[in-house]
């Protein structure tokens, strides 16, 4: 069976999308404001906002993965994506613990 050439890039793309999801979803306040001023029901607004931020993270994650894969190789791109996703989760948990006074 012939495997497409982009299949090995999927894990790295997913890791980079996960790592970049929160930083990229924060600037979507303009989209959220535009949706709030529109006539769409609240559940549809949330669906559009979540879908838009996920697609943005996947697109940018794919581009970052391709760039890092080109510069360092696909294995390194996936590893760095995993490290970036883990670091993002670690800093989010540390920030939450700091804010709660623990």
51 domain residue, yes or no: yes
65 domain residue, yes or no: yes
Q: Compute the distance between CA of residue 60 and CA of residue 20 in angstroms, rounded to an integer.
A: 8
Mean pLDDT of the 6-24 span? 81
Crossing angle of helices 42-72 and 74-99, rounded to 10° = 130
36 domain residue, yes or no: no
Q: Compute the distance between CA of residue 68 and CA of residue 75 in angstroms, rounded to an integer.
A: 10
Would the pLDDT of 4 be above 80? Answer: no
81 domain residue, yes or no: yes
59 domain residue, yes or no: yes
Domain of residue 78 covers: 44-96
Would the pLDDT of 100 be above 70? Answer: yes
9 domain residue, yes or no: no
Q: Is 75 left (phi over 0), alpha (psi -120 to 50) or beta?
A: alpha
Q: What is the number of structural domains in the chain?
A: 1
Would the pLDDT of 47 be above 60? Answer: yes
13 domain residue, yes or no: no
Q: Compute the distance between CA of residue 11 and CA of residue 33 in angstroms, rounded to an integer.
A: 33
């Amino acid at each position: 069976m012939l495997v497409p050439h982009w299949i090995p890039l999927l894990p790295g793309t997913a890791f980079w999308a996960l790592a970049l999801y929160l930083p990229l979803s924060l600037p979507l306040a303009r989209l959220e404001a535009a949706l709030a001023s529109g006539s769409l029901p609240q559940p549809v607004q949330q669906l559009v906002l979540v879908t838009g931020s996920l697609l943005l993270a996947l697109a940018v994650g794919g581009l970052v993965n391709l760039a890092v894969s080109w510069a360092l190789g696909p294995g390194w791109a996936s590893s760095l994506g995993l490290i970036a996703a883990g670091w993002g989760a670690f800093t989010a948990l540390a920030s939450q613990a700091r804010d709660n006074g623990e």
